[in-house]
């Protein structure tokens, strides 16, 4: 059982559409990170959120950390084909010494 | 600044053999974590090293071990390989001075036949 539940598991949209990926848990995290991974490569860090209620924007990507630091969301505006990839959320509990708990991932496919 | 490097990138081993994977962290980073990624289980934490000391360990059998050297480079070893050990092995480094960000290397793809 994954400590972090991501939804949806798969998302297929057309270029220009918006999408939201959710990451939920019953645990409280000291930080939560979002990564994007291409096949056969390591995950690439997109953002880290640490404060409850925090909102971070990275160009067309908006990340939110829940007030209770148990959940997060990733919203992409006007998706582009370059946004295609596996999106992973990962949380670190307090005093867990470098141990990230990962969600199962959301595979996003953006078609022209 | 160079990113995290892992060698080798691909490896094919036979069941029962052992394997050593290497990870060089980003310059100045002192913490290295290792993860196993499989289609069925996703990304699972193996262990974390800081200043040559293992501070945390995941739920893996004792066949999986690691170490860290004084220059922060790290190795992980898997002995008596099983077919189920086939996976992408990823290491991630972190500055560890109160930062949260972990930066991943490209991974080592291990295939056990």
pLDDT in tens, A9-58: 999 999 999 999 999 999 999 999 999 999 989 999 999 999 999 999 99
* Binary contact (B88, A40; C-beta < 8 A): yes
Q: Is the link from the previous residue into B8 a cis peptide, with omega within 30 of 0?
A: yes
Q: Which residue of B has its CA nearest to A41?
A: B106
Residues A7, A22: contact at Cβ < 8 Å? yes
B-chain CB neighbours of A97 within 8 Å are: 48, 50, 55-56
- Average pLDDT of the residues in A65-74: 96
Specify the pLDDT at position A94. Answer: 84
Q: What's the whole-number mean pLDDT along residues A75-90?
A: 98
Q: Which residues of B touch A34 (CB under 8 A)?
A: none
Q: Contact B90/A42, CB-based, under 8 Å?
A: yes
Q: With bands split at pLDDT 50, 70 and 90, how would you rate the model's confidence at A98?
A: confident
Confidence (pLDDT) at A68: 95
| Percent of chain B clearing pLDDT 90 (strictly above) | 93
Question: What was the pLDDT predicted at A111?
Answer: 97
Mean pLDDT calculated for residue range A62-82: 97
Chain A residues lying within 8 Å of B100, measured CB to CB: 30-31, 33, 48, 50, 92
Q: Which of B4, B45, B107 sits opposite A100 (nearest CB)?
A: B45
Q: From the CB of residue A52, how many other CB atoms can be counted at a distance below 10 Å? A: 13
Q: For residue B81, what pLDDT is reported?
A: 98
CA B82 – CA B50 distance, rounded (Å): 28
* Strand partners for B80: none
Structural contact between residues B74 and B23, judged by C-beta atoms closer than 8 angstroms = yes
Q: How far apart are CA B34 and CA B92, in angstroms?
A: 6
DSSP A31-93: EEEEEEE-TTS--EEEEEE-STT-EEEETTEEEEE-TTSSEEEEEESS--GGG-EEEEEEEE-
Q: How many CB pairs under 8 A join A and B?
A: 68
Cβ-defined contact of B42 to A31 (cutoff 8 Å): no
Per-residue pLDDT of chain B (113 residues; tens, 9 = 90+): 789 999 999 999 999 999 999 999 999 999 999 999 999 999 999 999 999 999 999 999 999 999 999 999 999 999 999 999 999 999 999 997 677 899 999 999 999 99
Do B49 and B55 contact (CB within 8 A), yes or no? yes
Q: Which among A102, A38, A76 is positioned nearest to B35, based on CA atoms?
A: A102
Label residue A1 by pLDDT band (50, 70, 90). Answer: low
Query: Does position A97 have pLDDT exceeding 90, yes or no?
Result: no
- Quote the pLDDT of residue B96: 75
- Please tell me the predicted confidence (pLDDT) of residue A2: 62
């Amino acid at each position: 059982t994954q400590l972090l539940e991501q939804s949806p598991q798969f998302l297929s949209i057309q270029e220009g559409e918006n999408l939201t990926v959710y990451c939920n848990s019953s645990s409280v995290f000291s930080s939560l990170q979002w990564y994007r991974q291409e096949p056969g490569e390591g995950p690439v860090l997109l953002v880290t959120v640490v404060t409850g209620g925090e909102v971070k924007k990275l160009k067309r990507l908006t990340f939110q950390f829940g007030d209770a630091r148990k959940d997060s969301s990733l919203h992409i505006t006007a998706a582009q084909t370059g946004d295609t990839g596996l999106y992973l959320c990962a949380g670190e509990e307090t005093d867990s010494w470098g141990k990230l708990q990962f969600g199962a991932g959301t595979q996003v496919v953006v078609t022209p | 600044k160079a990113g995290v490097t892992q060698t080798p990138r691909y490896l094919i081993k036979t069941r029962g053999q052992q394997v050593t994977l290497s990870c060089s962290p980003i310059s100045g980073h002192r913490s290295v974590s290792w993860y196993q990624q499989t289609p069925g289980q996703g990304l699972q934490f193996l262990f974390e090293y800081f200043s040559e000391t293992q501070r945390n360990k995941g739920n893996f059998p004792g066949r999986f071990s690691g170490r860290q050297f004084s220059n922060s480079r790290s190795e992980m070893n898997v002995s008596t390989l099983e077919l189920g050990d086939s996976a992408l092995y990823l290491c991630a480094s972190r500055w560890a001075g109160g930062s949260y960000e972990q930066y991943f290397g490209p991974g080592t793809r291990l295939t056990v036949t």
